[in-house]
């Protein structure tokens, strides 16, 4: 069984759980408590020297050698692409070339331009090194999430063939990226009123077991209410 090292509220862990659930893969979740900086301890950094989650441990058969190779993968974009190639059932990329580039672009908008600058280590630097107060940290998050969502909402509105998801009528990698970012937007009290398409996609995705089971509040390491 694959092992997924992550944290219940980590957006990158969240998107990886969604993808693995959509592909109906069995995996063991191993919590790395970011609030207690477990990702910086030597035990975890021996697995991923970058000290970030998620990390996926798996085995794969090397066709050229006909032998099983143990894999340790980090960086969620690389993990998601590997999952798509290693487990092509329940595909998360469209078959047509133009669809694939659109899904990858939507994913990159979130994964490259929104999420990283609201990542915990960035916010901790603002708080601890630059002495930014919490209201300013909140304003920082709201600014960059709103900027990204404004562009994303426009693209979604322009796609007249789009169904209930970011692209087409089936969940794709773009939805794996979007839903955790919507969760983060709500956490940082972003006004979602200007983004009806984003809100509708989020609502529809949360009717599907793969998204429900991946939600932060449904993880074993989530604090009890």
Using DSSP, how many helices (H) and how many strands (E) does the chain show? Answer: 9, 4
pLDDT computed for residue 59 by the predictor: 82
Number of residues in the chain: 225
Residue pLDDT, tens place only, 169-210: 999 999 999 999 999 999 999 999 999 999 999 999 999 999
Q: Residues of CATH 1.20.1050.10 domain(s) within the chain?
A: 97-211
Residue pLDDT, tens place only, 107-141: 999 999 999 999 999 999 999 999 999 999 999 99
Class of domain 2-90: alpha beta
Residue pLDDT, tens place only, 144-162: 999 999 999 999 999 999 9
Maximum distance among all Cα pairs of the chain, rounded to whole angstroms: 56
Q: Residues of CATH 3.40.30.10 domain(s) within the chain?
A: 2-90
pLDDT at 67 > cutoff 70: no
- For residue 158, the surrounding DSSP H or E stretch is helix 134-158
Q: Of 188, 200, 104, whose CA–CA distance to 146 is shortest?
A: 188
Q: Of 71, 69, 60, 74, whose CA–CA distance to 5 is shortest?
A: 74
Q: Of 86, 70, 89, 103, whose CA–CA distance to 177 is shortest?
A: 103
Architecture of domain 97-211: Up-down Bundle (1.20)
pTM of full prediction above 0.85: yes
pLDDT grade for 69, boundaries at 50, 70 and 90 = confident
- For residue 45, the surrounding DSSP H or E stretch is helix 42-45
């Amino acid at each position: 069984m694959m092992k997924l090292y992550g944290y219940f509220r980590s957006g990158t862990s969240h998107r990886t759980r969604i993808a693995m659930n959509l592909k109906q893969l069995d995996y063991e979740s191993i919590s790395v408590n970011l609030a207690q900086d477990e990702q910086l301890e030597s035990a975890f950094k021996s697995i991923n020297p970058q000290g970030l989650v998620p990390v996926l441990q798996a085995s794969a058969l090397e066709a050229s050698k006909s032998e099983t190779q143990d894999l340790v993968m980090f960086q969620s974009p690389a993990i998601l692409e590997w999952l798509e190639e290693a487990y092509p059932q329940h595909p998360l990329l469209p078959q047509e070339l133009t669809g694939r580039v659109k899904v990858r672009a939507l994913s990159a908008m979130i994964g490259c331009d929104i999420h990283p600058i609201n990542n915990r280590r960035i916010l901790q630097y603002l708080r601890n090194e630059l002495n930014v107060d919490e209201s300013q940290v909140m304003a920082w998050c709201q600014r960059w999430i709103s900027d990204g969502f404004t562009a994303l909402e426009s693209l979604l509105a322009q796609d007249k063939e789009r169904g209930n998801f970011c692209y087409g009528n089936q969940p794709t990698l773009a939805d794996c990226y979007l839903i955790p970012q919507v969760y983060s937007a709500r956490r940082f009290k972003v006004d979602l009123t200007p983004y009806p398409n984003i809100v509708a996609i989020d609502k529809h995705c949360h009717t599907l077991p793969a998204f429900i089971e991946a939600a932060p509040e449904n993880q074993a390491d989530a604090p009890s209410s």
